[in-house]
Structure 1
């Protein structure tokens, strides 16, 4: 079950499981997505942890805050939601895709509140990104493409996330359409896309600045990727290893952009071993 908490004046949807007294894990999704992308891990991660997933500000079923949306504002929104939940101790932060960049932003801005980092196909380690996201940066075209999301478009977007098409369920498509139809969603989506990228790909400026900040506050880190990722290609792992030489890494075979879903059991086992070994 999920609930809404007040994060700096905006309602943010969160889901919790595990031991309320345990070390907290917070799990963050990608652009245009929601906490459902971490649902399997609520059942699989060690029960000794307090496991929290959330819809980032303005995404999923969370409210947008006033003003333009930026990467740093998304990171601050996570901290605001954690404050509302009474989580003050350092967290293990897991981030998929955009959520990976948000996790790194959290580490860069408030390193004392981050204990360990798990990055699943994170944004920020290469310029290539799927064409659909690059097209949204073109003035005028982005609004047209996001004004009405058809079922066919929602299905194509879901299919691009997985190597195994059986994960593209009607339930996931319905939720994607519901989230896309929320007021203000196109504007917020475009704010984020245009801050982070252009029609040519992901901007290098924010990536280099963020990684420089992160390097000053290293934390035990695990990076995972799917070798069939069609959103952010797996060869970005090479740049990730170079930028974070202390990090452990793993590539899942026959896996798309959401290894925490498509390889849920293997992912949780890998993460469990990482958390235990880095204590």
Structure 2
């Protein structure tokens, strides 16, 4: 599960874990994962786009995966600034196609708005920012914290494991995709030093901890992205229980000129569940965007 060919680049004096593949002169693509996840969520897409001739960059968002947090409060602006710094560290001076899943979609939009001229197109995959119905359970982290308590901690270990397994399975239409290897990988991710602070800080910055209330920033962000005029592809899994399918319709209303695709029998991460179809769809979109530049 854990990608074997990752490297680190210094961003603001701190290492960021990345995976880079494909020809150096290929059209660059940046892949951004969701909250509490890691660059491994993009492994299949990364490999397939690199095979199509793109220079593909997958990155751990600082504080998640195996990358330590950057200075400042966790949030989309902080993450977007780190990704802009990463592109500088990689000497990527061309506009980049940015794909973001879940929280990564919000980071992608923020990167485009906060760093104009750096983003060639956006692929928003079950992205945050389009609705109020959010299933973001804190239970695994609560139980994991309790499991670390003296004397009584051991009784919470099975609860932590069961909650983490259930949430991982709920990411997919086919729960078997949450393999033991994936569960082991993300359990390790959840034990990283900055994980809990980054998770809680990210949720608070979005105003969605447990309540599902959505922040006021979304309409302003949509308008700013529209003003940029960059091509947008909106992709969703019809069976997404984290950010349900009504968010897809809201995204289509927010970006009426965007290309849109709804995958049947797919959950919150269609780039995993429908890997070949997703890569073909996204690859064709990128080719058209490059041809139009």
| Class of the TM-score when normalised by the shorter of the 2 chains | over 0.9
Partners of 1:81 and 1:9 in 2: CA distance: 11
**TM-score between both structures, scaled by the size of structure 1:** 0.93
Partners of 1:178 and 1:39 in 2: CA distance: 18
1:68 aligns with 2:73: yes
2:26 to 22, 29, 49: 22
Partners of 1:142 and 1:254 in 2: CA distance: 26
**TM-score between both structures, scaled by the size of structure 2:** 0.88
Distance 1:153 1:33, change over 3 A: same
Greater alpha carbon shift after TM alignment, 106-115 vs 200-209:
200-209
* Deviation at residue 79 of structure 1 after TM alignment: 0.9
Match of 1:268 in 2: 279
1:244 aligns with 2:249: no
Partners of 2:131 and 2:162 in 1: CA distance: 29
2:232 to 197, 206, 221: 221
Partners of 1:142 and 1:162 in 2: CA distance: 18
* Deviation at residue 142 of structure 1 after TM alignment: 9.4
Partners of 1:47 and 1:40 in 2: CA distance: 13
Partners of 1:247 and 1:31 in 2: CA distance: 24
Match of 1:112 in 2: 117
1:86 to 91, 106, 111: 91
Partners of 1:7 and 1:126 in 2: CA distance: 32
The 3-state SS of whatever aligns with 1:111 is coil
Q: What does 1:138-177 align with in structure 2 at a 5 Å threshold?
A: 144-145=142-143, 147=145, 150-177=160-187
* Deviation at residue 115 of structure 1 after TM alignment: 0.3
Distance 1:174 1:161, change over 3 A: same
Per-residue Cα deviation, 1:98-143 (whole angstroms, up to 9, x for no partner): 00000000111112000011111000001111051xxx4xxxx897
Length, aligned pairs only: 272
Match of 1:235 in 2: 246
Structure 1: where are the runs of 5+ without partners? none
Structure 2: where are the runs of 5+ without partners? 148-156
Q: Which has the larger radius of gyration?
A: 2
